[in-house]
Chains A and B, each alone.
Chain A
Amino acid sequence: MPATDYALYTGCIIPLRYPDIENSIRETMPLLGANVFDIVGAGCCPPGGAFWSVDEISGLVQSARNLSIAELMNKDLMAVCNGCFCYLKNSNLLLKDNQEKREKVNTILNQIGRKYHGTISVYHLVEILHDKIGVEKIKESTKIKLDGAKAAVHYGCHLLRPSDHLMAENPEKPHKLDALVEALGMESVYYPKKLSCCGAGGGMRGNNPNATLKILEKKLMNIKYSEPDCIVTCCPFCFLQFDLGQKGLRDKGEDFCIPVFYYNQLLGLSMGLPKKRIASISETPRDGFIKKFYGVD
């Protein structure tokens, strides 16, 4: 496969709370033929919970600014967070489609010397890994196979829904992240209500810390049912919810301590990349899993 270039949109959580995930993406993707280039000056996507929740144009114009920088790079945008993917893709489609909104947004962007043209597409990392690179290439590129490891795959909401806009997956029976996990040699196990929300989004984590943990606890009870060795996700906010949320539940005396990985962290470890750079920040311990399946301290 010839190498393809992408404009890497890192968002907020990955570069500023889990930069080890960012390293894992930066270091694994080029090894699979997907070169990534920075969108210098990119701001927040922005989130549905705040700007979109009060005024559509306020959300659109910030998304359009981010898209306009990637357009100058003449590369399709690679989103590595479900929230960023959902709102950037939605904005891109809306602005390509609706001349009135495009003109309104460009009038505002003109004040800072930028312009949205509608010349690029927005992809989620999972789409690029599964649809463009393919599981066979991933199998060939990994040295260490995770035979015998069981993973509970969590897709997260904003990769799947609203499916008529995002078109990344079958919203009721997604398979891409499962296939990517299985390409590493792991078994993706069934658990009830797999497609349900982790409980973090929309402002919930900040507005109601007790409810956010209750929703997470239900999700984790379902995950525990399948006795997985780890949870694998492709969204940093879900990752944060599982990582810090399990700590929150442990602080309340609950017994939840399932290691959590962003997909590319496992991919990188399977390629032999060093743990310190790509999988070293977490409140819920992962060293036991890494030692057991990769033999690395």
Chain B
Amino acid sequence: MKIVLNETNEELVNKVIQYGGENIYKCFQCGMCASGCPVAGDTDHKIKRTMHQVLLGLDEQILDKKAIWLCTTCFMCLERCPQNAGPTEVIFALRRISAEKGIIPDAQIEVANNIYHLGHAVTVEKGIKLRDKVGAPTLNTAGSDKKYIDEIQKIINTTKSFKLLKIKKDWKPKGDEVIACD
């Protein structure tokens, strides 16, 4: 008897391979990835399960739950995988597929807009005040001058990320809190 697991099976795995997770087929479900994962215990992000779900073509279960966005990208799973199946690369590939479907969390959108409008992942004005307080030299990074921000905007405009990260031309930062950087 032939068991058909899911008709979309190969579509998802092929896309993961195309988007950077080219060694996914090497996974033999040993669980080494999950054993070192810092978030597995406290969130819905279960890397071993996700690897299996990709191979089974369960795209809705993966993409709709948004758990792939809870990976801290610490690369422990990639480092320790005995098969070199590259679990972190698979997560990056799934995030790319997810973004193309318009599914992307607010934190990513906010950081991208910060970078596009300010040149940095965090707000600049607060930084300038802190620099004055400790006597740091005048800021001369991208955030110090519109001409550098224009350069960054020009190069982002020509890439897919402008649309995928929902970058807005009229946008104000939500606040001074640092939400993501690496």
Contact = CB atoms under 8 A, between A and B. Distances in A.
Nearest to B111: A50
Nearest to A11: B181
A40 interface: yes
B130 A19 contact: yes
Contacts of B106: 206-207
Interface of B: 20, 36, 38-39, 41-43, 69-76, 78-79, 88, 92, 95-96, 99, 104-108, 110-112, 115, 119-124, 126-128, 130-131, 133-137, 139-145, 147-148, 151-152, 154-156, 158-161, 164-165, 178-182
B140 A40 contact: yes
A206 B155 contact: no
Given A42-B142, A55-B160, A111-B158, A202 B182 contact: yes
A273 B59 CA distance: 56
Given A12-B181, A43-B120, A281-B134, 5 more contacts: A12-B121, A62-B115, A65-B152, A202-B73, A215-B72
A161 B76 contact: yes
Contact of B140 (A38, A47, A84): A38
B178 A162 contact: no
A109 to B, nearest CB: 7
A295 interface: no
Interface in A40-58: 40-58
A15 B182 contact: no
Contacts of A55: 96, 99, 159-161, 164
B145 A46 contact: no
B150 to A, nearest CB: 8
A211 B70 contact: yes
B161 A81 contact: no
A15 B123 CA distance: 11
Contacts of B164: 54-55, 58
B74 A161 contact: yes
A38 B143 CA distance: 14
Nearest to A59: B161
Contact of A83 (B128, B144, B181): B181
Nearest to A202: B73
A157 B70 contact: no
Interface stretch (A139-147, A177-185, A193-201): A193-201
Nearest to B160: A55
